[in-house]
Amino acid sequence: MNEIWVQIKRKTEVPTKYQRNHEIRIDWKTLYEIQKEESRKIFETVGNGPIRTTSEFVYFIHENFGAGEYMCIARTPTSPHFFLFLKFICDDFKNYKIEPTYTSYKKRKRKFVPRIHKNILRNLRLSTTEEDRKFYQQELDYAEEQDREKGLTQNRRGPHPYLINTPRVGELKEMEDYRDKEDDFEENNNINNNEDGMTIW
């Protein structure tokens, strides 16, 4: 599989410049950029890295940068365009939740006009019970079916096929420690001169 470039950002609050209307604003601070060569050491699907699942990649980011809301932008060598690779919220209890990474579009005069079901996605993300999650997921499925009937197309981006087992949007999941698997991988393949713990930074 092709190498991939990934930029890791974290949501932060910063003071506004003039503070006329608001004292703070939201900013996405760039923490690190995984270069294409590094992706071979990180992702199992690209090279010989230990990380294969979304839960392992989230654990990888949490161990290096801590809890917070993250957004990962990516680009492949075969495409000049950036895309939203992964967006999630994680806490210090090793739990995380995937945020939406897709948008519905309608072609109009050779331009793509975004049409996002913001209310349904927000309710799905904030759902606290399984019954509510199922209800809003059905609402989202119905809305997307209506989009298809009206000629709308969905442009979904995400970590697949670089990461597998990505949970559904809004579903609370537990992170997975990739380091034990990496130790077994190195022992079985007699890989020498590797960095300890696969902490790249």
Q: DSSP secondary structure string, 32-90?
A: EEE-HHHHHHHBTTTSS-SB-BHHHHHHHHHHHH-SEEEEEEEE-TT-S--EEEEEEEE
Domain boundaries, the chain: 1-100+157-201, 102-156
Tell me the residue type at 124. L
**Rounded Cα gap, residues 48 and 26, in angstroms:** 37
pLDDT band at 108 (very low <50, low <70, confident <90, very high): very low
- pLDDT for residue 126 is more than 90: no
Mean pLDDT of 157-179: 86
pLDDT at 188 (0 to 100): 52
Instruction: Convert 176-201 to b/e letters by CB count within 10 Å (16 or more is b).
Output: bebbebbeebeeeeeeeeeeeebeee
pLDDT at 152 (0 to 100): 57
**Rounded Cα gap, residues 129 and 127, in angstroms:** 6
Most confident of 37-46, 97-106, 164-173: 37-46
Cis omega before residue 50 (within 30°)? Answer: no
- pLDDT for residue 131 is more than 90: no
Over residues 21-47, the pLDDT tens digits come to: 778 888 999 999 999 999 999 999 999
pLDDT band at 187 (very low <50, low <70, confident <90, very high): low
pLDDT band at 168 (very low <50, low <70, confident <90, very high): confident
Over residues 62-94, the pLDDT tens digits come to: 999 999 999 999 998 887 788 889 999 999 999
pLDDT at 78 (0 to 100): 83
pLDDT at 197 (0 to 100): 45
φ, ψ for residue 22, nearest 5 deg? -135, 145
- Residue 157 belongs to what H/E stretch? none
Measured torsion, CA atoms of residues 13, 73, 99, 176, in degrees rounded to the nearest 10: -100
Decide: 162 and 52 in contact? Cβ < 8 Å: no
φ, ψ for residue 143, nearest 5 deg? -65, -40
Regarding beta strands 5-15 and 68-75, do their DSSP bridges make them parallel or antiparallel, or are they unpaired?
antiparallel
**Rounded Cα gap, residues 47 and 148, in angstroms:** 37
pLDDT at 66 (0 to 100): 95
- pLDDT for residue 101 is more than 90: no
